[in-house]
Amino acid sequence: MLLIDLALAALPIVLVAVLLACRLEPIPVVIGVIAATLVLSFRFPLTWDAIESTGGRLLPITLAVSLIILGGVLLAETLAASGAQTRIGAWLEAAAQGRERALLLIGLTIGPLAESLIGWGIGIIVAAPLLIQIGLSATRAATIALLGMVVAPWGSLAPGLLVSSQLGGEDFREVGIWTALFNLPVLLVMAATIAIVGMGWRVAVRRSPEVLSTALVMWLVLLASNLWISVPLSGALSSLAGAAWLLVLARIRGGGMPAMDRATTRSLLPYALLVTSLLSMTAFTSLVPLGAASAVLTSPALWLLVTAVVTPALLGLDREGATTGLVRGLRLFVPVWLVTVLFIVLGALLAANGMAETLSDGAAMLGTGFLLVVPLMGFLGGYTTASNTAIASMFSAGISHVSLAIDASPAMVLGSQNASGGAAVISSPARVALASAIANDNRVSGTERADVRFAMVAVLAANAVILVILSPITFLLGGVA
């Protein structure tokens, strides 16, 4: 009976993977899987209390995601219409002293920086157009933008880690430290995969010292920040350290930093406004408690929308250019928003009807072997929900409970789940659809559209390697931590 329940609980996840591998469109796939999940209500009934509880947790996330996607695509399309992306991309390539280092700079540091500060896939929205500007195809740009989410647990200033620690009953900083420790394989594997996808095997091997040293610098800063500075800011500080390291290497090997002309400097104003507003308001509300208003004033959604609205004025765009950006952004927003929300609904169903709990209970029956499957649980959560916060909401309490039962450190086990779940978010069909849509909309006219299957295979392969590394490490540490 239990085996049947486990098989049925895993069925929606398996269906999504198989149908997307067959190159079916994401929207009909997720609608069909939602329908199949509802059909299974005879075995996993939905109660009103469960729907209300799960909906209450995920409704704010869904609203935030929706507004962030809207602001993100409007900002990206306005920047594209003004030529700002082209100017920024050209400067980054010149500063990096070549396309290979430029793709590392954008994919491994600029994208993660945006994701760490804002979250919800904005790193992809920022990175994909810039990667196309330096000459990558839509397929490779979309894939590298996905792989660049190397510090995803700290995305949007780490609400997922906060939820994980709260539901797991553990110290926030301790969970952050363990997550950072487990994130080393994520950084190394993703950095290597970015190099292989963007440069090819031969060039990637030749430049492996630069690639791996950048990943190590980012990890050391990530760990140090969680230990001594700030858990929420760790992803941003790690990304900045990686960017600084690459620019230092560029100066050592290629000469001085290129001058930035007035037009390029102006092109950076929207990003500067977004980052400054978000960080300033976060600092202000930490000093002056404003109750419920604090959550609104520090929301990435608010400042992303504000930035998108004022960007035409910041860039001196005329009415025709502003209208072009608005129309293209709204046209792109609808399908991206719909597929993202549908996958959030699917994740909510799996939590509300007990399927996620059944999978967790099945894993708990393994005893200490449970530690081997913790990274897999994080992967499944990231794949189905595309949200670190949703993963934490679904699994953290159960994982902490089981960890105590088998005498393992809950903070350590939660760190493993967070690291694997953060890496898995990029393989979510919603994220792959977002990256493909952004790349397709910014690709050079006449070039091929992004190959969704290539992107999916690349991110799944990277995640498979990460799981192979994290599972035995989690098991071994479970006996001593």
Are the C-beta atoms of 9 and 352 separated by less than 8 Å?
A: no
Whole-model pTM above 0.85?
no
- pLDDT of 408 reads 84
Question: Where is mean pLDDT largest: 164-168, 400-404, 406-410, 462-466?
Answer: 462-466
Question: Where is mean pLDDT largest: 33-37, 299-303, 346-350?
Answer: 33-37
* C-alpha distances out from residue 174 to 114, 221, 479, Å: 25, 16, 18
Q: Which residue in this structure is represented by tokens 């393992």?
A: 408
Query: What is the residue-averaged pLDDT of the chain?
Result: 83
pLDDT digits (tens, 9 = 90+) for 194-228: 999 999 889 999 999 999 999 999 999 999 999 98
Handedness of CA 108, 126, 26, 81 (dihedral sign): negative
Whole-angstrom distance, CA of residue 467 vs CA of residue 147: 15
Question: Where is mean pLDDT largest: 224-228, 317-321, 438-442, 464-468?
Answer: 464-468
Say if residue 118's pLDDT is above 80: no
DSSP string, 68-121: HHHHHHHHHHHHHHHTHHHHHHHHHHHHHTSHHHHHHIIIIIIHHHHHHHT-TT
- pLDDT of 2 reads 67
43: DSSP letter: T
Are the C-beta atoms of 314 and 270 separated by less than 8 Å?
A: yes
pLDDT digits (tens, 9 = 90+) for 163-203: 788 777 788 889 999 999 999 999 999 999 999 999 988 99
- Reported residue count of the chain is 481
Q: Where are the domains of the chain?
A: 20-255+319-478
Higher-confidence residue of 63 and 200: namely 200
Q: Which residue in this structure is represented by tokens 């980052």?
A: 275
Share of the chain above pLDDT 70, in %: 93
Residue 257 CB neighbours (<10 A): 13
Whole-angstrom distance, CA of residue 152 vs CA of residue 157: 10
For residues 273, 190, 468, 478, the Cα torsion angle rounded to the nearest 10 degrees is -40
pLDDT digits (tens, 9 = 90+) for 239-298: 999 999 998 888 887 666 777 888 888 888 887 887 788 778 877 887 887 777 777 787
Residues 6+ apart with CB under 8 A from 352: 46, 50, 51, 53, 54, 55
pLDDT digits (tens, 9 = 90+) for 312-368: 888 888 888 788 888 887 887 787 778 767 777 777 787 778 777 777 677 667 778
Whole-angstrom distance, CA of residue 92 vs CA of residue 87: 9
pLDDT digits (tens, 9 = 90+) for 90-100: 787 788 888 88
* C-alpha distances out from residue 297 to 50, 121, 305, 349, 386, Å: 30, 20, 12, 30, 24
pLDDT confidence of 122, banded at 50, 70, 90? confident
Whole-angstrom distance, CA of residue 84 vs CA of residue 446: 21
- pLDDT of 140 reads 93
Higher-confidence residue of 4 and 422: namely 422
Say if residue 61's pLDDT is above 70: no
Comparing CA positions, the residue from 16, 287, 242 lying closest to residue 115 is 242
- pLDDT of 196 reads 95
- pLDDT of 277 reads 82
